[in-house]
Amino acid sequence: MAQTTPNHTQTVHGWAAHDPSGNITPYTFKRRENGVNDVTIKILYCGICHTDIHHVKDDWGITMYPVVPGHEIVGVVTKVGSNVTGFKVGDRAGVGCMAATCLDCEYCRDGQENYCDQVQFVYNGIFWDGSITYGGYSEFLVADHRYVVHVPENLPMDAAAPLLCAGITVFTPLKDHNLLECKGKRIGVVGLGGLGHIAVKFGKAFGHHVSVISTSASKEKEAKERLGADDFILSTNEEQMQSKKRSLDFILDTVSAKHSLGPILDLLKVKGTLAIVGAPDKPMELPSFPLIFGKRAVTGSIIGSIKETQEMMDLCGEHNITCDVEVVGTDEINHALRRLANNDVKYRFVIDIAGSFSSKA
Ligand code: NAP
Ligand code: ZN
């Protein structure tokens, strides 16, 4: 049922899932008026993250239908509130996963607001005024300026959109493990999808030896020739996995479905770290032997702070790092969601939102 919150007077056209069937249909809803701390963004492009599928299908059991997905949002600022100093009309802006945090806890005060336990996301969240948040599969967004970043002028908007979630999610674990500063480490990336392909690009840009660990033999050629990976390990091939035991310093696991962690941990050197960012709907077993015999650590992280997101965007601007995207129209969202669920995209679908509205005009 559509919500009725005071000040939510602006009519927005978008696309929503109404049940766990996996289907998206056009949906008209309301957004708040642009407040003193807000910017309004005309959405140009929105990436399709695997998290959108988890929400559309209610994989995690937390979806509030109707859900308007989309948290890889780029566009142009069309309005700014009176308290906003960092943005002006016409700026290229990006919004990722966060819509609101408490602004007062130790994590918010310390610039790690993505770990605030009251964090509310850009869709399927509850904003400060009690309204349910609706995401970027829609024509415009009203966002508090504290959760908006600048998109460097030299980056194409469509190929920059997935940086807002996929990019920042793989950037922070690399940063947290000093892999921006020290070069020449041996890094593994498990799962060559939206998150994984950007992780490979970052790993190479930061001067490391990068191995892709994948279930898809068909991805080897491109991983090496197009993305610059140094090695490709087929995780379903036991011989290959055995021969690479104890070869990696750090592994980033981006896999969206339940899988075995033991063989992945065995690829780490003694004292190596496995950082998990993928979010399968079922718990994964953590075998103790590869941990204790290798003094290995397992960690996880969620996206990054807004400060880190801006840092990553600027770095991508400097190094010209963009995502490999397949741009689709709004009439192709369901097809794209199905193809993403079937592991059939290289490497991120991005919806041409503005194109859909201009073609109707
Ligand atoms: P994606 O594009 O679908 O990529 C996931 C990759 O995982 C696939 O390309 C595939 O790579 C591999 N894979 C899929 N099913 C598998 C299976 N059953 N066993 C082994 N490997 C499998 O998804 P994404 O958008 O990158 O998102 C990945 C995960 O990260 C999702 O669960 C998403 O919700 C989560 N996520 C977390 C955060 C965070 O803040 N922590 C942020 C964004 C997304 P290969 O073909 O190479 O094997
Ligand atoms: Zn995402």
List the chain pLDDT tens, one digit each, 361 residues. Answer: 455 688 999 999 999 999 999 999 999 999 999 999 999 999 999 999 999 999 999 999 999 999 999 999 999 999 999 999 999 999 999 999 999 999 999 999 999 999 999 999 999 999 999 999 999 999 999 999 999 999 999 999 999 999 999 999 999 999 999 999 999 999 999 999 999 999 999 999 999 999 999 999 999 999 999 999 999 999 999 999 999 999 999 999 999 999 999 999 999 999 999 999 999 999 999 999 999 999 999 999 999 999 999 999 999 999 999 999 999 999 999 999 999 999 999 999 999 999 988 765 4
Is there a single domain that holds both residue 154 and residue 174? Answer: no
DSSP H helical ranges for the chain? 50-56, 106-109, 157-160, 166-176, 194-205, 220-225, 238-243, 262-265, 288-292, 306-319, 333-341, 353-360
For strands 209-214 and 348-352, give the pairing: unpaired
Is there a single domain that holds both residue 218 and residue 308? Answer: no
**Ligand 1 atom nearest 301 alpha carbon:** 41
Is there a single domain that holds both residue 264 and residue 321? Answer: no
Alpha carbon nearest to ligand 1 atom 10, residue: 191
Residue among 192, 264, 301, 343 to mutate when testing ligand 1 (max atoms within 8 A of CB): 343
- A 10 A CB-CB count for 128 gives 15
Answer yes or no: is 3 within a domain. Answer: no
Is there a single domain that holds both residue 287 and residue 150? Answer: no
CA–CA dist 122, 69 (Å, integer): 8
Answer yes or no: is 4 within a domain. Answer: no
Which pLDDT score is estimated for 264?
A: 98
Pocket flag, ligand 1, residue 256 (CB < 6 Å): yes
Domain boundary among 300, 317, 336: 300
**pTM check: above 0.85:** yes
Cβ–Cβ under 8 Å, residues 100 and 120: yes
Condensed to tens digits (0 to 9), the pLDDT of residues 53-82 reads 999 999 999 999 999 999 999 999 999 999
Answer yes or no: is 94 within a domain. Answer: yes
Alpha carbon nearest to ligand 1 atom 36, residue: 278
**CATH code: domain of residue 210:** 3.40.50.720
CA–CA dist 70, 84 (Å, integer): 24
**Ligand 1 atom nearest 303 alpha carbon:** 40
Alpha carbon nearest to ligand 1 atom 13, residue: 255
Domain boundary among 262, 278, 300: 300
Answer yes or no: is 5 within a domain. Answer: no
CA–CA dist 255, 279 (Å, integer): 7
Cβ–Cβ under 8 Å, residues 275 and 195: no
Pocket flag, ligand 1, residue 304 (CB < 6 Å): no
Answer yes or no: is 41 within a domain. Answer: yes
Domain boundary among 259, 285, 300: 300
Answer yes or no: is 85 within a domain. Answer: yes
Residue among 176, 255, 323 to mutate when testing ligand 1 (max atoms within 8 A of CB): 255
Is there a single domain that holds both residue 209 and residue 322? Answer: no
Answer yes or no: is 170 within a domain. Answer: yes
Answer yes or no: is 2 within a domain. Answer: no
H helices, E strands: number in the chain: 12, 17
User: For residue 159, what are the domain limits?
Assistant: 10-164+304-360
**CATH code: domain of residue 25:** 3.90.180.10
Is there a single domain that holds both residue 137 and residue 45? Answer: yes
User: What is the number of domains present in the chain?
Assistant: 2
Tell me the CA–centroid distance for residue 146 and ligand 2, in Å.
19
Pocket flag, ligand 1, residue 216 (CB < 6 Å): yes
Is there a single domain that holds both residue 143 and residue 89? Answer: yes
Tell me the CA–centroid distance for residue 209 and ligand 2, in Å.
26
Is there a single domain that holds both residue 52 and residue 25? Answer: yes
Mention every residue, 6+ apart, whose C-beta is less than 8 A from residue 83. Answer: 36, 37, 145
Pocket flag, ligand 1, residue 284 (CB < 6 Å): no
Is there a single domain that holds both residue 285 and residue 327? Answer: no
Alpha carbon nearest to ligand 1 atom 35, residue: 278
Mention every residue, 6+ apart, whose C-beta is less than 8 A from residue 282. Answer: 258
Apex 27 CA angle, 165 and 161, nearest 5: 20
Which pLDDT score is estimated for 335?
A: 98
Is there a single domain that holds both residue 172 and residue 296? Answer: yes
Pocket flag, ligand 1, residue 257 (CB < 6 Å): yes
Is there a single domain that holds both residue 108 and residue 225? Answer: no
Is there a single domain that holds both residue 230 and residue 206? Answer: yes
